[in-house]
Each structure stands twice: as C-alpha cells, then as structure tokens.
Amino acid sequence: MLLASLVQPGNVLLTEELTYAAIKPIVSLFGIKLLPIKMDDEGLIPDALDSACIKIGRAPRALYCMPTLHNPTGATMSIERRADVAEVAKRHNLWIFEDDIYGILPETAPLPLYTFAPERTWYILGLSKSLAAQLRVAYTVAPSETMARQVFWPGVKTTNWMVAPLIAEVATRWVEQDAANAILRSVRTETNVRQEIIRKSLPSWAIRVPPFCYHIWLELPPAWSAAEFEQAVRRQGVVIAPGDSFSAIPGGFAARFRIGIGVPSDHQTLRAGLDILNNTRDQIASS
C-alpha cells in the first residue's frame, strides 16, 4: 500500500543491494524501478545513498531499508549511521519505509530511523518473526494521522480488507498481559543456544553470527554457485536461500546463501542439516 500510494508506477524505490526477497516481485507488480545501494558491515552506506540520489536523472521517491538485523546479512546500523541515513533522506526529500520486523529481538538496539526523521518515516513492526510465525499482524507508525488516512483509507479495500480480528486480539492480549515479553525472553534464549550450535558446527566457514539473529549469511568459494549448492543440499532434505534471491542487482551475490536457524524443529535436526552443508561442501571441493 505504501509503494502504490507514495512511490507509484514509473518512479524509483531505493533499497539495500541485498534486500527482503519479496520486494522485487512487489515493485515489479507496481511498475516501480528498484535501485540498489551499496552496503558494508553496518548495512546501507549513507554516502552511497547520497551519490545515488544525485546521479539518477529522476528523483527517487522513497528508501526501503531494514536497519536492525537486516535480512539476509544480519547487519545492524549504529545510531550514528541511522542519523546519517536520515539526514540524506531529508536532503533529497525521500520517504523512508523502515522495516523493523526483527527490531524487538535484540535486548538493546539503536533507536529507529523514525526517531531521526519522523516527518518522513513510515515505521513498520511485525510480530511474526519475534513472537510467533502464526501471529500475522503488523503495526505502522505514520508521519502523521493525516498521512495515514491518505495512504491507507482509500486503498484498504483494494489491497487489504483488515487484519483478522482474532489474530489482532491475541496480539493485544499478549502485550497487555505481558505474555509477549515472556515469549520474547524464551525466543532470545533459544536463539542463543542455536547460535552456539552454528559456531561449533561450522568452524571452517567464514561466518558472522549477530546476537539474537536467526538467519545466517554464508559464502561459498568464488567459483561456486549457490544455486547449484542449493540443489545439492535440497536433494538431502535441507532448504537454503541462494543469494541472488535477495540481490537487488540482477545475478548478484551468486556465491552467497542464507540459512534460517529458527526453522528446524529441534537441535538434533539443526545439527543434521549443518552436517549436510559441511559434507556437501567437502564433496564438491574434492570432486
């Protein structure tokens, strides 16, 4: 709804060079052009964002980004980085679509981008990645009540009718009765345990395991294809996500892939899947 109302067909949406996989088909559906911005270990690079805004012939309308536990890399912007990104957005009159779907997982996280540019930021927080996958409900903080009405009310019946009342009520009660905090503590504890399994099971991989993050970004040797590796492990019952599915650059990051450590039902299944990754890599390397 934000893309259809605020970006519109033919205009430009800026995003990290690696981005939420569903963004690409969504912008294609709306006829919106996607422009990737370079990243580093903290995520989106403000100078690269500034340069892109200056170089493109037609002013971009908005920036979509994930500042906390970025999907797929797990990067988290420092508070200084967030302030710089917000300043660039102000300079070029960009809307900011801040996807904070993982934002409540860390025990401490920098302030949202919204804090630095509330007049232009649409802050989006969902619960399905932090409390329960079945809790398909999200909350949006708009720059103003007037803007919220302009964006959501006219199109609500064409793109979305409403949140399922039962799901919304469950979410509300969990928050009001403090069940949400109890669940969140359990999720954090389990994530820490699974991250330790990752570290012990993948000692020969160059990996970064950001605290409280349950997707891990892995790299294969340069000559390898993650798509081929994905097919090889899939035949053994393991599902991974190839890097090019997240790449806003066509064909980019072909030697990278993401694994989700929260998907396996138990620790034994997780270890078995990681063993398959190790064994498959060794088999390919020796062939």
Cβ contacts of 274 within 8 Å, gap of 6 or more: 197, 198, 201, 202
Q: What is the pLDDT of residue 221?
A: 82
- The residue with greater pLDDT, 165 or 155, is 165
Residue whose tokens read 């066509």: 250
Sign of CA dihedral 173, 70, 228, 262: negative
Give strand pairing partners of 45. Answer: none
User: Quick check: helix, strand or coil at residue 150?
Assistant: helix
State the virtual CA torsion across 168, 174, 177, 183 in degrees, nearest 10: -170
Average confidence (pLDDT) over 94-107: 96
Instruction: Give residue-wise pLDDT tens across range 9-58.
Output: 889 999 999 999 999 999 999 899 999 999 999 999 999 999 999 988 66
Residue 147 to residues 25, 43, 84, 141, 163: CA-CA distances in angstroms?
Answer: 26, 28, 24, 10, 20
Q: What is the pLDDT of residue 33?
A: 92
The CA distance from 102 to 115, in Å, is 17
The CA distance from 86 to 103, in Å, is 18
Tell me the longest C-alpha to C-alpha distance in the chain.
Answer: 62
Residue whose tokens read 């232009």: 120
Instruction: Give residue-wise pLDDT tens across range 103-152.
Output: 999 999 899 999 999 999 999 999 999 999 888 888 999 999 999 888 88
pLDDT above 70: residue 64: yes
pLDDT above 90: residue 226: no
- The residue with greater pLDDT, 3 or 223, is 3
Report the CATH fold assignment for 179-286.
Answer: Aspartate Aminotransferase, domain 1 (3.90.1150)
Q: What is the pLDDT of residue 24?
A: 93
Query: What is the SS3 assignment for 42-62?
Result: CEECHHHHHHHHHHCCCCCCE
Report the CATH fold assignment for 2-175.
Answer: Aspartate Aminotransferase; domain 2 (3.40.640)
DSSP 3-state percent helix, strand, coil across the chain (nearest 5): 40, 15, 40
The CA distance from 69 to 102, in Å, is 6
Sign of CA dihedral 202, 208, 212, 214: negative
Mean pLDDT of the chain: 92
Q: Return the number of other C-beta atoms located less than 10 Å from residue 241's C-beta.
A: 19
- CATH 3.40.640.10 maps onto the chain at 2-175
Q: What is the share, in percent, of the chain residues with pLDDT greater than 90?
A: 74
Identify whether the C-beta of residue 74 lies closer than 8 Å to the C-beta of residue 105: no
Identify whether the C-beta of residue 100 lies closer than 8 Å to the C-beta of residue 45: no
Q: What is the pLDDT of residue 57?
A: 65
- pTM beyond 0.95: no
Q: What count of Cα atoms within 13 Å lies in the side-chain half-sphere of residue 7?
A: 29
pLDDT above 70: residue 156: no
Q: What is the pLDDT of residue 216?
A: 95
pLDDT above 70: residue 63: yes
- CATH 3.90.1150.10 maps onto the chain at 179-286
pLDDT above 60: residue 157: no
Sign of CA dihedral 54, 60, 62, 66: negative
Instruction: Give residue-wise pLDDT tens across range 186-224.
Output: 999 999 999 999 999 999 898 889 999 999 999 988 778
Alpha helices in the chain (DSSP H): 2, 23-30, 46-55, 79-91, 113-116, 145-152, 156-159, 165-176, 179-201, 226-234, 267-286
Own/partner contacts of 271-276, CB < 8 Å, gap of 24 or more, are 271/197, 271/201, 273/237, 273/238, 274/197, 274/198, 274/201, 274/202, 275/201, 276/233, 276/236, 276/237, 276/238
